[in-house]
Structure 1
Amino acid sequence: MPNLVLAEAMRRADCSNKGLASRVQLVAQEEGVTLRCTHVDVKRWLEGVQPRPATAKFIAEALSRKAGVGFSLEDIGMGGVLTPTTLERGLEYADAVPEVGSRLLGLTRRDLVDDPLAVEAVVVPSAWTQPLLTWLLSRPEPLSAGSGAQVNVGESDVWAVRMTTQLFMKLDFQFGGGHARAALAQYYVRDVSPLLEGKFTESVGRELFSAAAEVAQLLGWTAYDLGRHGLAQRYMIQALRLAQAAGDRMLGGRLLGNMSHQANYLGNFQQAIQLARAAQEGSKGIASGTTMASFLAMEARAHAGNGDDAACSRVLHEAEKLFERRDVAHDPEWIGYFDDAELAGEGAHCFRDLRKPLIAQEFVGRCLELTDPVYARTLAFIRLVQAATYVHQGEPCQAAVLATEAVELAGSLKSMRYLRYVSDLCTDLKGYHGNREVESFRELVASKYQSIA
């Protein structure tokens, strides 16, 4: 059915199809969202096709600016695409701790049924600001068990949550975020969520909220790896609030570091820098040497993405010095993955992004030599980084050979981030047609990954 309401709104705003498309793109860009939009999309909206919730909001804002009056979603015939409260509130930093549990429960339930609105939810860059500031300025808060709670929670329950999370974390490293995600979400719903409403002492409660934050962190991280970016952002914001309630500053820093990682991946470099610095400032004097080095590495990655060679090199050097002096006895269990190989991998990514292939290759060699074969995703990433450095040196044959090995060794890795590495390399190799090794690599990618081909 044609959207006559939208047509009337466009008439009132004196806006053509092409004009609306360009204005919607501009609004989206201001929100940090890359949106491909043409007059063809506008024609479809006028024919009755409903866009995604975020896009509908961009349309309303674009028409409001053009007309000089406010248009609501109802005013453009798109009131039915409002984002569910569950997803909107997931971007908010809760005042009361019980709200966090209900928000996470709502997110996981939508996640489990692959709700399109949750799966396709977009990242809202401005939503990182409030959690960052609130966490930095937070003070210890009392924890009280739910009134009338039926479940008694003890130390053994918390220990079970931590051990189970470690198992899921190992699966993520080895097989990618898409492996066993449903089982992880189900575990949160059935086993972790009820504990948050149970009876516990304050000391047990803090440990419980810390353990639950680790589960939520992993839900967010695996969603990020799978390309569900809006969902990942919401999980991590709620996980940060749990870490704050637990008084776990190191874990809070880790979550801000993860947010920085995602912001950098999505091209929001300045916010990635701020998030990484917040992780450092908010856990100063508390974080172990290893965890602080990881936060510095995230800042270095963001500087590299931003093209700031001097800042990247300075911060990365600081991370290396801190890492050399670390005492692993002070490390939490969850930072065990951040070893010499991981730090070298961060350096390799930095200098790949800065287009300094020779320096990047030094870090790549160290990473490949030291990485445990169980970290299949890490090895796939670093091999593709290595291939990219050869493209940057004008050696497409060597790049294609290395990339072919990476794809063959990746096996059944379920990671959208990995696919982006492959896709980016294919883009880098576009200028080398007719090269036998390059063409062979393209054929391999086309046969394995139809979404890229």
Structure 2
Amino acid sequence: MDVKRWLDGVKPRPTTARFIAEALSRKAGTTFTLDDIGLASVVTPETLERSLAHGGGISDVGSRLLGLTRRDLAEDPVALQSVVVPDAWGESLIAWLLSRPEPLPTRELARPSVGKWDVQAIRATTELFANMGFQFGGGHARSALVQYYNREVVPMLDGKFSEPVGRSLYAAAAEITELVAWTAYDLGRHGLAQRYFLQGLRLAQASGDRMLGGLLLADMSHQANYLGRYDQAIQLARAAQEGCRGVATATPMALFCAMEARAHAGNGDEVECARALLEAEKHFAKSNVADDPSWVGYFDAAELASEGAHCYRDLKRPSQAMEFVGQAVGLCDPMYVRTLAFDRLVQAASYVHMGEPVQAATLALEALDLAGPLKSERYLRYIRDLQSDLADYAEEGQVAAFNAAAIEKYSSSSD
């Protein structure tokens, strides 16, 4: 019965798949992998670990990402609930810092044949999905993004292309990989996000774009900070700065320094946070949009102010946090709904720290309305953190109204 179901296309469980591969290997006197027997899409912890690797030839990245996206699209719990491996961050930043230019693979008979229009299509699609993420959260249309990435982008990595097209392809692929990673991160799928970030860094390295590699390291710093691994977050942000010194334009350098400031704030180090934040402001003052890569366009004055607000919220310095968050909200493009919702909740937390819970709850209610159907686990964490801050004021009318509204709106959301 089971064999008939497998022939009909039903995938066996991971343990069963491994037993099948082992039995066939013993029978044939050779080793068969899950890929060899057509069960590559069956998730196993072993195959997931391949996507943590940074080393090896660039040709390995396509197969790693193909396996990872198959598991992602199948929504297999082993992939979605995979854990972050902190050591992988350190290994990747060292490999990237010490990397040298590398030749692209030559594949005269490979398919598909990739041209500059294909690369432009990837960039346009990335921009489209990125804008949806800013407005509706990483969970919105994520399956469509990953499906496009799996079917259209990943196969190109093993295709045929000229040297200039290949470099551009790897850079465009790194950008959309970064977006796929962010959407997983935004949904709280941290192990999955880490694996995409790491492979995106490898693609950026192959493209020869140091600034783009710095962006991936800054992303990993952001995630490490979110997970409470502040020392590693500092290392990742500093690696981005050092690896891009003398190469990056001013705005990306401001971003990298801001990530370091966030990590110091998480660590409770106000002196180092202020120093890194000042460095970010100095770099940003030299920004020239015309010089910057397109992917850093979101990092404007409002975003820098938002980073400062987050820093001083974490340091529990409400007066400074209020100064920054006022700038952030006033300057933020209304398109960035997720950012505005975050900023409002940072502002609310600062009111709690100032001993003004009613004002905090009033702002939080506005944030709930602003967010609408925002699909973001990070946003839900802001809500939960604020509820915790307001726990001593639960009987206040406005605080009770906020708690009731949050429960009504998000009671079906899980941690």
Counterpart position of 2:215: 254
Structure 2 unmatched runs, 5+: 1-13, 15-42
Does the aligned pair in 2 maintain the 1:273–1:302 contact within 8 Å?
yes
Task: After TM superposition, give the deviation of residue 100 of structure 1 in Å.
Answer: 0.6
Q: Aligned letter for 2:195? A: R
Counterpart position of 1:447: 408
Between 327-336 and 84-93, the greater mean CA deviation after superposition? 84-93
Matched, 1:409 2:370: yes
Matched, 1:374 2:350: no
Give the alignment partner of residue 172 of structure 2, picking from 211, 214, 237. 211
Q: Aligned letter for 1:115? A: D
TM-score after normalising by structure 2: 0.88
Counterpart position of 1:287: 248
Distance 1:97 1:218 in 2: 20
Between 187-196 and 140-149, the greater mean CA deviation after superposition? 140-149
Counterpart position of 1:198: 159
Task: After TM superposition, give the deviation of residue 95 of structure 1 in Å.
Answer: 1.1
Task: After TM superposition, give the deviation of residue 83 of structure 1 in Å.
Answer: 4.4
TM-score after normalising by structure 1: 0.81
Counterpart position of 1:228: 189
Counterpart position of 1:349: 310
Distance 2:267 2:289 in 1: 32
Task: After TM superposition, give the deviation of residue 194 of structure 1 in Å.
Answer: 1.9
Does the aligned pair in 2 maintain the 1:307–1:354 contact within 8 Å?
yes
Task: After TM superposition, give the deviation of residue 452 of structure 1 in Å.
Answer: 6.9
Distance 1:389 1:427 in 2: 13
Alignment deviations for residues 287-337 of structure 1 (CA, whole Å, 9 cap, x no partner) = 110000000000000000000000000110111011011121110011000
Counterpart position of 2:119: 158
Matched, 1:143 2:112: no
Distance 1:251 1:124 in 2: 22
Counterpart position of 2:385: 424
Task: After TM superposition, give the deviation of residue 147 of structure 1 in Å.
Answer: 4.8
Does the aligned pair in 1 maintain the 2:62–2:155 contact within 8 Å?
no
Distance 1:133 1:156 in 2: 34
Alignment deviations for residues 351-394 of structure 1 (CA, whole Å, 9 cap, x no partner) = 00010001100111101111011100000000000000000011
Give the alignment partner of residue 301 of structure 1, picking from 245, 248, 262. 262
Does the aligned pair in 2 maintain the 1:144–1:202 contact within 8 Å?
no
Counterpart position of 2:324: 363
Q: Percent identity, aligned pairs only?
A: 63
Alignment deviations for residues 156-183 of structure 1 (CA, whole Å, 9 cap, x no partner) = 1111111111111111111100011111
Distance 2:159 2:145 in 1: 21
Task: After TM superposition, give the deviation of residue 90 of structure 1 in Å.
Answer: 1.0
Does the aligned pair in 1 maintain the 2:137–2:376 contact within 8 Å?
yes
Between 258-267 and 160-169, the greater mean CA deviation after superposition? 160-169
Does the aligned pair in 2 maintain the 1:289–1:322 contact within 8 Å?
yes
Give the alignment partner of residue 115 of structure 1, picking from 54, 57, 76. 76
Does the aligned pair in 1 maintain the 2:55–2:95 contact within 8 Å?
no
Give the alignment partner of residue 356 of structure 2, picking from 391, 395, 403. 395
Partner SS for 1:431: helix
Does the aligned pair in 2 maintain the 1:145–1:198 contact within 8 Å?
no
Q: Aligned letter for 2:89? A: W
Distance 1:328 1:123 in 2: 35
Q: Aligned letter for 2:150? A: V
Task: After TM superposition, give the deviation of residue 402 of structure 1 in Å.
Answer: 0.4
Partner SS for 1:90: helix
